[in-house]
Amino acid sequence: MAQGQKPFFIAIGAIIVAGVAFIALRMSGGAVSIPANQVVTTADTAGFRGYLLGSETAPVEVTEYADFQCGGCQQFMTVQFPDVKARLIDAGKVRFRYRDFPLDNIHRHARIAAHSAACANDQGKFWEMESGIYARQTEWSLQADAMSIMEDVATTAGVNTATWMECMKSAKYAGRIQASYDEGVRVGVPSTPTFLIDGRLYPGLSADQMVDLVDSIIAAKGAPVATPAPTQ
């Protein structure tokens, strides 16, 4: 090789290395990484019990422990949940509480998805984001980098994506997600989705099963049901 050609080939080599590094960065999720086993601080949980729907005075609280990459969770939220919302939540019978339970050992994007929804919640768009994430689960769950689809879901949900992306890069809700997971472990969640209702765990309920269970609890307690607010 001629002496004068060395700088040229060195430059080409540097470009190739940089290109490979960029591809590797994109493959691993770029600048977005949500750590697991985060140390939970008081600030992570202060004033936050989960994502809530329904009347505060509803006689029964239903907590769902779910993983955004779980197929059963996707089936429940897209197929069963509209019925649950109409018959239990909107009817004033249930206060619904959604909690993250990411199964990291089998679902590599579960925390990215959970954090995406948490950042959308900053803008009052958790349920819109949650719906979009589940609707497109078969797309993003198969990607090496789920972020491009998550950003698209955020856009569709009406989220300001620049603000959302800053939140994602900060990973500021990693502790909140860990606290949610830790809570599920403490109560004994065996799989997702699992529902905590009146002090007992019920894995994988259908809408009909949940309605029957809630109605039986209300009847046994003789608890009054809140009158739903009229729809506008």
Question: CA 222: distance to chain centroid?
Answer: 34
Q: What is the pLDDT of residue 222?
A: 86
Helix (H, G, I), strand (E, B) or coil at 94: strand
| pLDDT confidence of residue 12 | 41
φ, ψ for residue 178, nearest 5 deg: -65, -40
Is the pLDDT at 122 greater than 80, yes or no? yes
Using pLDDT thresholds of 50, 70 and 90, give the confidence band for residue 227. Answer: low
Cβ proximity of 92 and 154 under 8 Å: no
Asked if residues 190 and 204 have their Cβ atoms less than 8 Å apart, the reply is: no
pLDDT greater than 50 at residue 29: no
pLDDT of amino acid 224:
76
Coil, helix or strand for 73?
helix
- Give me the mean pLDDT over the 80-90 stretch: 98
* pLDDT of the residue at 186: 98
Token reading at 176: 């909140």
Residues 10-25 have pLDDT tens digits of 344 433 333 333 333 3
Q: In the predicted model, is pLDDT for residue 134 greater than 90?
A: yes
Q: Please state, in angstroms and rounded to a whole number, the distance separating the CA atoms of residues 35 and 112.
A: 9
The string of pLDDT tens digits covering residues 30-70 is 578 999 998 999 999 999 999 999 999 999 999 999 999 99
Rounded mean pLDDT, 179-201: 98
Domains defined along the chain, listed by start: 45-221 (3.40.30.10)
Is residue 183 within 8 Å of 99, Cβ to Cβ?
A: yes
Residue 226's pLDDT is: 62
The pLDDT of residue 21 is: 32
d(CA 137, CA 209): 25
- What end-to-end distance do the CA atoms of the chain give, in Å? 79
Q: Give me the mean pLDDT over the 141-155 stretch.
A: 96
